[in-house]
Structure 1
Amino acid sequence: TFMLYTGGAFRGVSLVKAFANCSSARSLVLGSFLTLIFTFLLYIPRKVIAFVDFCGSFVQGFKAMTSAIMILCLAWSLSGICSEQYLNIQGFVKTAIGGSTMAVAIMPVVFFLVALGLAFATGTSWGTFGILIPISVTILGGNLMMMTVCVGSILAGAVCGDHISPISDTTILSSAGAQCKHIDHVSTQMPYAFLVAGCAIVGYIVAGVTFNGYIGFGFAIAALIGCMAVIVAKTKRG
């Protein structure tokens, strides 16, 4: 609601533009503050917890988030080092892929793997979108089907890499919110992500060979169903 408010939805701005122009940081602060007031009214009058304990939970919350904030600061520092002013990762990837003579057929799986690796290394899916999508459009702009498949592979690979990256804000805040060790959260997420990523790779290879994204999608679904059938069979035997 506060994202819509800061984006101007209550002043006549359309829903899409409100989300696009909102202030997420301010919305989080306002939402958190309102949550504290709601929690206060829900628990204190009913004497579920004492007022002293309620206020003491603020300090405990700050302590719980300290490690997450430190990891985020390091992640942002790494992101800054990868920017154009320093290592220029974007320029390197653009040169390596843009000047390649690889067949169009393997472009979807190549973009998927590059997006996965880049998002894993930098901890940002949106940054990966910004780097690779313009490259894919430039390379495959004349082939709408393959361009669509490649953009989809970039989106999928970047999200996969972001969710298994130990320096991703998504992973950091998820582990902090679940109150589990950060590396434990990362390591237990990887088997699920890599299983689906493997099935997606099958689909992107087929889509590249057949030049048809629908056929590739069908093969990816079939691969996932096959993997789940194997897992269920092994579980029943165990």
Structure 2
Amino acid sequence: MEENQSNTIHLILIHGFPLNQKMWSLQSPLQEKVNLIFPDLPGSGQKSEKSLFTLEFMAEEVMDEIKALKGRKILGGLSMGGYVALRILAKHQEFFDGLVLMNTRASADTNPVKANRHLAIRSLLENGMDTFLENFFRNALSSTTLRTSPEKLDFLKKIALEQNQEGLISQILAMQGRPDSSDLLSQISIPSLIVGGEFDPITPPAEMHSLAGMVQGSRLEILPGAGHYSPFENPDGFHQILLSFLKDNFS
């Protein structure tokens, strides 16, 4: 697909923690309809950094990567990627034509969540990457995914092990210190799709319902059988709702 065509639809999908752009590997069938762009966030993949950074820095890094795009642009993010997407929108909403928020929230960390992030860093330092990631994904993926597709845990763990410990710790601290984006939700004026997982223990369906209720005119979809990585756990379901969203808003 030619990126210089004004009618091209670019779908920018920002990965979640503790992964990189490879978490979107099952979304390749969408390439028939849109130009897929998968940025690596600072601390991940080709941007593994050992220095500390903020969520605002992560947002500007992504914006620098996509600012030359022509045509229609849909910004998407999952979990941490959703936090980044909202910070991008806070400054650059006029650049985008659509939004897809997956398994994420707009609020800042509460004190208990901040404490849990400190525990996560402690676990990383004391137990090492392998043990930390095994426990993390067993909690984040749904029991359905773990039972019917155990290879998906192995795949995510393999991707996550491509990052370095320092980069993941920097991402945890960036998430912990991120600003509250709740006030932004009522200002979103582009077509928006909100996606959750039926069995997501981190951002459960009730929270996704609340998020969608604050984005005027948004469409909410809960993917059956999925946990926190819903497009990865139920890719066929995700593709169906995304293609429907595209048909309704970008045909």
Give the TM-score normalised by structure 1: 0.27
Greater strand content: 2
Q: Which has the larger radius of gyration?
A: 1
Determine which structure has greater relative contact order: mean sequence separation of CA pairs < 8 Å that are 6+ residues apart, divided by chain length: 2
Normalised TM-score (structure 2): 0.26
